[in-house]
Amino acid sequence: MNLVTPAEHPFAQFVRILGKGKRGARNLTREEAREAMGMLLDGKAEETQLGAFLMLLRHKEESAEEMAGFAEAVRERLQAPEIAVDLDWPSYAGKKRHLPWFLLAAKALANSGVRILLHGGGAHTAGRLYSEQVIGLLQIPLCRNWVEVERALQEQHLAFIPLGDWMPQLQRMIDLRNILGLRSPIHSLTRILNPLSARCGLQSIFHPGYQAVHREASQLLGDTALVIKGEGGEVEINPDATSHLYGTASGENWDEDWAPLSAQRHVKPAALEPEHLQAFWRGEAEDAYGRLAVLSTMAMALRGLGIAHEEAYKQAEQRWAARNTLI
């Protein structure tokens, strides 16, 4: 009786590299990461391999080279036309303690002529308020394809497109969060993708130590990027805390510390009421924390476009004052 040894699955090598014990495991090279993510995106890996791969990466913590390789695989498969964008603004974390004031910052900047692409991954974690749940109230265009994105950017300088409409394979990986019990590195990957090659990619990474890794990944990709530890994980400055800005442009890194704007911390609201954002935008309600969060976030975004800190904040105040005039 002849016993035939089954052939090893081509994707198995990548699981083995990550999971071969404390002494045998290692990071993927950039090329290996690109190949592995390519196979996942093309449906050439088994479900068990996908889960194992994501969780081994999560346990190990992804490297800048791995993130760059993953991003390259995604970009190679994007069917996106050339559309001029100033800021790539990922929104994947959701807000828990404060309202998503960054949406007002983006809307005001867009009305002043800055072209902004927002993208997000849906309400994947209970107890958080996601951009997709608020953009309709704030009249931010929800787009389902790149043609709609281009039209929205032409008409309003602002567009939001869900990840599932331009890279559904990644959305599916994000949706595994409640099956695997943990967020996977895909949540981090979405922040560096910059699908339309914007002039600057804004990124928020909440966990300490990851900000520098993300900046390095963007540097490897040749992107201009600005990384912060945003409030609640979103691209939003917390005006009650010192903000460290991790920037990279033309292959050179830069760092800045922005001091808190308030002498004492504001009390967080008892509940997150999106209608309050609408009232604040219209000037029908005041919010001391919200005003500082919006202005400092606008200034941070302008800093990413190369405007110095003091001038960026001055421009933020001017653009906010003129927010209801679409340029």
| Rounded Cα distance, 94 and 106, in Å | 16
Does the pTM exceed 0.85? yes
For residue range 35-81, what is the model confidence (pLDDT) as tens digits? 999 999 999 999 999 999 999 999 999 999 999 999 999 999 998 99
User: Which pLDDT band, with edges at 50, 70 and 90, does 327 fall under?
Assistant: low
Q: What's the confidence (pLDDT) of residue 1?
A: 57
Using a pLDDT cut of 70, give the percent of the chain over it. Answer: 99
Q: What's the confidence (pLDDT) of residue 295?
A: 98
Beta-carbon contacts of 154 under 8 Å, excluding residues fewer than 6 positions away, are: none
Under a CB-based contact definition with an 8 Å cutoff, are residues 33 and 69 in contact? yes
For residue range 238-292, what is the model confidence (pLDDT) as tens digits? 999 999 999 999 999 999 999 998 877 888 888 889 999 999 999 999 999 999 9
Q: Which residue has the higher pLDDT, 181 or 159?
A: 159
Structural domains present in the chain? 12-77 (1.20.970.10), 87-321 (3.40.1030.10)
| Rounded Cα distance, 107 and 125, in Å | 25
Q: How many CB atoms lie within 10 A of CB 267?
A: 7
